[in-house]
Amino acid sequence: MALFQIAEPGESAAPHEHKLAIGIDLGTTNSLVATVRSGLAVCLNDQRGRSLLPSVVRYHADGSVEVGFDAQKNQAVNPRHTIVSVKRLMGREEKDIAHIEAMPYEFVEASGMVKLRTPAGVKSPVEISAEVLRALKNRAVAALGGELVGAVITVPAYFDDAQRQATKDAARLAGLNVLRLLNEPTAAAIAYGLDNAAEGVYAVYDLGGGTFDISILKLTRGVFEVLATGGDSALGGDDFDHRIYCWVVEEARLQPLRPEDTRLLMMCCREAKEFLTHNPEARITARLSTSEMVDLKLDVATFAAITQTLVSKTLQPVKRALRDAGLRPDDVKGVVMVGGATRMPQIQKAVGDFFAREPLTNLDPDKVVALGAATQANLLAGNKTGKDDWLLLDVIPLSLGLETMGGLTEKVIPRNATIPTARAQEFTTFKDGQTAMSIHVVQGEREMVADCRSLARFELRGIPPMVAGAARVRVTFQVDADGLLSVSAREQTTGVEASVTVKPSYGLADDEITRILQDSLAHAKDDAMTRALRESQVEARRLIEATEAALAEDAHLLKAEETAAITAAIAKLRAAAAGDNRRQINMAMDDLAFETQEFAHRRMDQSIKKVLAGRKVDEIRMGEKE
């Protein structure tokens, strides 16, 4: 039997081993990967020293895939098979996507999320995003020279459940272990807050290529508490490009354009937009495939005029988030600007005017999200560097509810609830003898189900026949720390219990992920079996390490025979993990997990008691309520 080293409580017994963890900003336009190196968050660059990776995926005729700068540069050559801004399609049905008719892609009839036909086969936005993630993962593995324990992937705070689930699936497809989905503005707040030792209420205004988020946070001695969040998951720099494009089409009196020309002009419009940030006037010139020439001048004033509605569209969610937080603009101590599109002077001015203070621009709006994600990944991986004892309390952006009679929504969890959170609601049957109930889970603020996003439908069967109104069906919503929802339902009055757990329907089913993984692995050298075995072995090692660390800290919570049972289970698992029988490893893991259940409870209990005992009772002044 192994001998344990007993360390001082609170001190980890495991030798200080740096775990490789990364943070990924999966952007509409640009993506980045960062990590913490010697206590400092840094972006990892490509071989040519560039940190940004354009989120552009090109499928060549031979089925090969290209991601990044070259795909972006040549996007007008084959727009149909060069996918840009795929983030706007994540977790979306065809009918939900704005300007879909202007997209040159070949959409395939499919229920649920849209799918695109490419020379490499029919691809979902999840698979396309996975290409971007894979490119970044490979960059990280090459730069760090070792196996990654996991990644934190950022998502717009205003992403709904379907979009989050899709993002997590994409990361899993890319072979990443997702430590956490992190909201983009929160990631920025972490990077900013830790760097500047900020305290008080801050707003993060994040306008990227395709999404807009506003988050209001309170920073108190290392705790980042999101008070409210809002936004628009289909509003960003792309829309400013589109406004210029419409202006060009009108000014130059262009006839309906071919996809190649549309792309070409959109690229010109984006260049012009960026140019106008530092110049009074931009020239837009292009030779179309019809050999028609476009040659126009756009000045700052015109640009501001044609995009004014977009700018004020961002202020609505800002107002609402402040109201939800119970605050006024002048309660905000600083406004952190994130996202490339916040470089536009009209945005800076509008935000400055609204809050009556200069926005904070002393950080790189492109990198700050990735840096914050890396910082959290480092913490979650268990790399302690001393000063980083901080905690993040985030919220869900949109209310979660159920459909009730008459197509109305009944809210179960309100927006801006701190996660993780759970809530239960009871429902009853409306017909005598009714034995099944269909449950429809929706997300959104509107009263009518039709105006909310449908997340999942499932049926609870096996309700014993009773008179109408007698059954008690308890539907429980649980939102985890990634902001992902699971729902279960159970009939309570009789001994009969029926319960079901659903994952919202827009994510990929687990077997679908397995299939895609296996398909892609069929091309690779090692097959799915060895991969699964490797994963089990890694998992086993992790479990042994965690258990030993727990024993080292808290063995005093156990009776001698309990300690013996746990150490025996560890020894068994260690032996199993040395072999190549995956089933045996998994069984040994289950055994160890079983033996440590009670231990985990006692540790949690002790931990809470300890932190509260640190406070003396006489500290509790009996203040008047607010």
Q: At what angle do helices 161-173 and 125-144 cross, to 10 degrees?
A: 50
- Residue 335 · residue 232 · CB < 8 Å: no
> Which residue number has the CB closest to ligand ATP?
237
- Backbone phi and psi for residue 530, each to the nearest 5 degrees, phi listed first: -65, -35
Of positions 23, 27, 236, 483, contacts Mg ion by CB under 5 A: 27
Q: Is 307 in the site for ligand ATP (CB under 6 A)?
A: no
Tokens of 465: 């026949």
Q: Is 621 in the site for other proteins (CB under 8 A)?
A: yes
Residue given tokens 């628009």 in the structure block: 232
Q: How far is the CB of 27 from Mg ion (least distance, A)?
A: 4
Looking at the Cβ atoms of 90 and 419, the one nearer to other proteins is 419
The three state secondary structure string of 409-450 is EEEEECCCCECCEEEEEEECCCCCCCCCEEEEEEECCCCEHH
**HSE (CB half, 13 Å, CA atoms) of 44?**
24
Q: Is 341 in the site for ligand ATP (CB under 6 A)?
A: yes
Looking at the Cβ atoms of 515 and 609, the one nearer to other proteins is 609
Q: How far apart are the first and last CA of the chain?
A: 58
| Site size with ligand ATP, rule: CB under 6 A | 23
| Site size with other proteins, rule: CB under 8 A | 57
Nearest-angstrom CA–CA distance, 258 and 256: 7
Looking at the Cβ atoms of 187 and 475, the one nearer to Mg ion is 187
Residue positions annotated with a catalytic role: 25, 87, 184, 206
Asked whether the bond before 420 is cis by omega within 30 degrees of 0, the reply is yes
Residues 197-256 that bind Mg ion (CB under 5 A): 208
Whole-angstrom Cα Rg for the chain: 27
31: left (phi over 0), alpha (psi -120 to 50) or beta: beta
Which one of 39-47, 492-500, 576-584, 614-622 is the stretch in contact with other proteins (CB under 8 A)? 614-622
DSSP class of 22: E
- Residue 601 identity: H
Q: How far is CA 187 from the centre of its chain?
A: 11
**Contact pattern from residue 19 through residue 38 relative to ligand ATP, giving x for each residue in contact according to CB under 6 A and a dash for the rest:** --------xxxx--------
Which one of 125-133, 203-211, 237-245, 618-626 is the stretch in contact with other proteins (CB under 8 A)? 618-626
Q: 201 forms bridges with which residues in the sheet?
A: 218
| Site size with Mg ion, rule: CB under 5 A | 2
Residues 369-428 that bind other proteins (CB under 8 A): 376, 379-382, 391-393, 417-422
> From ligand ATP, Mg ion, other proteins, none, which one binds at residue 7 (CB under 5 to 8 Å depending on kind)?
none
Widest CA span in the chain: 86
- Residue 226 · residue 393 · CB < 8 Å: yes
> From ligand ATP, Mg ion, other proteins, none, which one binds at residue 180 (CB under 5 to 8 Å depending on kind)?
other proteins
The residue ranges that bind ligand ATP (CB under 6 A) are 27-30, 87, 184, 208-211, 236-238, 270, 273-274, 277, 339-341, 343-344, 366
The residue ranges that bind other proteins (CB under 8 A) are 149-150, 179-180, 220-221, 223, 225, 316, 319-320, 323, 376, 379-382, 391-393, 417-422, 478, 480-481, 542-543, 546-547, 592-593, 596-597, 600-601, 604-605, 607-612, 614-615, 619-626
